[in-house]
Amino acid sequence: MTFNIDKVPAQAGKVAIVTGANNGLGFETTMALAKKEIEVVMACRNLDKAEEAKAKIMKVNRKAKLHVMELDLSELDSVREFAGAFTKKYNRLDFLINNAGIMMPPFSLTEDGFESQFATNYLGHFLLTKLLFSTIKNTPEARIVSLSSLAHKWKDIQFDDINFKKSYSKRDAYGQSKFACLMFAIEFDKRLKEANINAKSLAAHPGVSATNLFNNMPKPVAWFTSIFGSFFVQPAKDGALPSLYAALGSDLAGGEYTGPEGKGEMKGDATIVKPRRAAKNEVMADRLWSVSEEMIGEDFVVQ
Ligand SMILES: NC(=O)c1ccc[n+]([C@@H]2O[C@H](COP(=O)([O-])OP(=O)(O)OC[C@H]3O[C@@H](n4cnc5c(N)ncnc54)[C@H](OP(=O)(O)O)[C@@H]3O)[C@@H](O)[C@H]2O)c1
């Protein structure tokens, strides 16, 4: 079965957060949620870019309810400030779309001392979800969607050097971060079910979609993609469909992973796809959870 967004009814009164809403998949996800009359908080690190993106959406959808708020996921303090400001303003959160991400930058550590891809793609979202958890719990049937990738197959969690301080592979570090996002989504759903909480956690991947994410790729790859891209890459609007399916699909029970149905899951309509087996390894998931709590300096208890 594949997902048809046109069949999803309008959902006025509901509230969503989309991280990295100003560009690429986040932008398209915001556009589609706003079309369903959902109020969307655009959580972005660059407010000028975010306002520009908001204006672009308002141009085609005058009734869109959009609110720009600052969030830099690579800084734990920024995540805390954002969560504080959000919970002051809103008392419900129906959809948390943990979308923002970076891919394969040169090695750097964040101010908090963490490898930049792990910090931005995974750890910032782990803290964000933790800080918004009481609002999520108070919202009937809330959904949390974590963006993973085909790249989750590249790497397990490297617990002995999670920050790649000994030796950096930008590919492995990206793979680790996306594996962590997927593992977290599955483990979080398990914990929600055990605690009898009426919310679902899911993961989604867009296949391969033409966005700014590839800006750090070597020039020949960018060149090849720009010429032959349309054969195996899908536009961001289609790349957003797995996220939208995970958020809005009425047939999903929680803990599922969505992605494109085409060959190699590179493009096509959104459907349920299979994570690699290690993503469901409960011992590793438990360890990742504990290590993440240590890194953010806070417990995340699901009850
Ligand atoms: N495109 C693909 O083929 C593909 C494949 C698999 C998975 N994904 C995943 O899909 C998600 C969205 O990527 P995309 O393709 O839409 O890439 P994109 O066009 O580069 O968009 C990424 C978004 O994340 C934001 N962002 C980056 N670092 C941030 C930070 N520290 N704090 C807050 N926001 C930050 C960016 O903001 P700025 O505009 O300010 O940089 C941008 O809005 C990512 O998680 C990515 O890993 C994409």
pLDDT in tens, 26-37: 999 999 999 999
Q: Sketch out the chain's domains with CATH numbers.
A: 5-294 (3.40.50.720)
Pocket lining: 25 vs ligand 1, CB cutoff 6 Å: yes
Which amino acid, 235? P
pLDDT computed for residue 224 by the predictor: 67
Instruction: Kindly indicate the confidence band of residue 215, based on its pLDDT and cuts at 50, 70 and 90.
Output: confident
pLDDT computed for residue 253 by the predictor: 96
pLDDT computed for residue 237 by the predictor: 96
C-alpha 143 – ligand 1 centre gap (Å): 20
Tokens 């719990």 identify what position? 137
Determine how β-strand 95-98 pairs with β-strand 257-260.
Answer: unpaired
Convert the pLDDT of each residue in 18-76 to its tens digit: 999 999 999 999 999 999 999 999 999 999 999 999 999 999 999 999 999 999 999 99
pLDDT computed for residue 225 by the predictor: 65
pLDDT computed for residue 1 by the predictor: 82
Q: Which of 45, 114, 174 gets mutated to test ligand 1 (max ligand atoms within 8 A of its CB)? A: 45
Q: In 3-state terms, what secondary structure has residue 19? A: strand
25 Cα nearest atom in ligand 1: 16
pLDDT computed for residue 170 by the predictor: 97
> Which stretches within the chain are classed as H helix?
24-35, 47-60, 76-89, 116-117, 124-131, 133-137, 170-194, 219-232, 236-239, 241-248, 282-296
Pocket lining: 116 vs ligand 1, CB cutoff 6 Å: no
C-alpha 101 – ligand 1 centre gap (Å): 4
Q: Of 146, 132, 110, nearest to 41 (Cα)?
A: 132
Which residues are identified as catalytic?
A: 168
Determine how β-strand 39-44 pairs with β-strand 66-70.
Answer: parallel
C-alpha 194 – ligand 1 centre gap (Å): 32
Least confident of 14-28, 172-186, 217-231: 217-231
Sheet of strand 270-273, all strands in order from the earlier edge strand to the far edge = 66-70, 39-44, 15-19, 95-98, 142-147, 199-204, 257-260, 270-273
Q: Judge whether residue 194 has pLDDT over 90.
A: yes
Pocket lining: 205 vs ligand 1, CB cutoff 6 Å: yes
Q: Of 118, 128, 108, nearest to 18 (Cα)?
A: 128
C-alpha 150 – ligand 1 centre gap (Å): 15
What's the Cα-to-Cα distance from 155 to each of 94, 148, 206, rounded to whole Å? 32, 13, 19
Tokens 């141009």 identify what position? 59
Q: Judge whether residue 222 has pLDDT over 90.
A: no
Tokens 């943990």 identify what position? 98
pLDDT computed for residue 295 by the predictor: 98
C-alpha 102 – ligand 1 centre gap (Å): 5
Q: Judge whether residue 96 has pLDDT over 90.
A: yes
Pocket lining: 102 vs ligand 1, CB cutoff 6 Å: yes
Nearest CA to ligand 1 atom 1: 209
Pocket lining: 43 vs ligand 1, CB cutoff 6 Å: no
Pocket lining: 177 vs ligand 1, CB cutoff 6 Å: no
Integer-rounded Cα radius of gyration of the chain: 18
Residue 242 CB contacts under 8 Å (≥ 6 apart), including other chains: 3, 204, 205, 206, 207, 258, 259, 260, 270
- Report DSSP state, residue 268: S
Pocket lining: 22 vs ligand 1, CB cutoff 6 Å: yes
